[in-house]
Amino acid sequence: MLKINKYLKILILVLLTILLFSLPVSQQEVTILNDYEYGNIKNVYLIEDNNQPYKLLQIISVKGYHEQIIMFLALDMTKGKIDVLDIIQENESLDYGGYISEEWFLSRFKGKDINLKLKLVKMSAKEPQEVVAVTGATISSRAVVDGVNEALENYKEIRDSLNN
């Protein structure tokens, strides 16, 4: 089982703080959703604003080409879109795999519909849910897309439980 070190926990708290303070002043609450932490999903946080789901934050750990890739994913539950995807830790190859943590790759996920599964493509995205892989780093790119898709499935379970 992946243990998150104290520096990673501090980073998570900092990110949560930034997201909370980006909200207008109101009743904000963060809930840890332990029941949804399984498989590659290591941590799940629900941010509510005035008792309404606002953001869902997930820490995901997937096997990359070399080692684990640890990601932070923020979903905007009001807009139904991916808000933030960031790579917290990776040890992929220096030549191509490391590009998965570059903003130009991560920005390919921003704004994607959180109710649809993402699809990795190699050349160019023709559909809204397609993400173009890093050339020469298909395994690393696949790991990121698979991790995000697992988190999106987790989101659907959480959304459905909140609606019941």
DSSP one-letter string for 107-158: TTTTT-BTTS--EEESS---STTEEEPPTT-HHHHHHHHHHHHHHHHHHHHH
DSSP 64-98: -SSSEEEEEEEEETTTTEEEEEEEEE----TTTGG
Domains held by the chain: number: 1
What digits encode the pLDDT tens for the residues 111-148? 999 999 999 999 899 999 999 999 999 999 999 999 99
Domain assignment of residue 1, yes or no: no
Q: Does the pLDDT of residue 2 top 70, yes or no? A: no
Domain assignment of residue 74, yes or no: yes
Q: Model's pTM, two decimal places?
A: 0.85
What digits encode the pLDDT tens for the residues 92-108? 888 888 899 999 999 99
Domain assignment of residue 140, yes or no: yes
What digits encode the pLDDT tens for the residues 73-86? 999 999 999 999 99
Q: Domain limits at 139?
A: 6-163
Domain assignment of residue 118, yes or no: yes
Domain assignment of residue 150, yes or no: yes
Percentage of residues in the chain having pLDDT higher than 70: 84
Three-state DSSP at 160 gives helix
Position 20 confidence tier, pLDDT thresholds 50, 70, 90: low
Contact 50, 73 (CB under 8 A): no
Burial of residue 159 (CB within 10 Å: 0-12, 13-18, 19+) is middle
Position 3 confidence tier, pLDDT thresholds 50, 70, 90: very low
Domain assignment of residue 112, yes or no: yes
Contact 85, 110 (CB under 8 A): yes
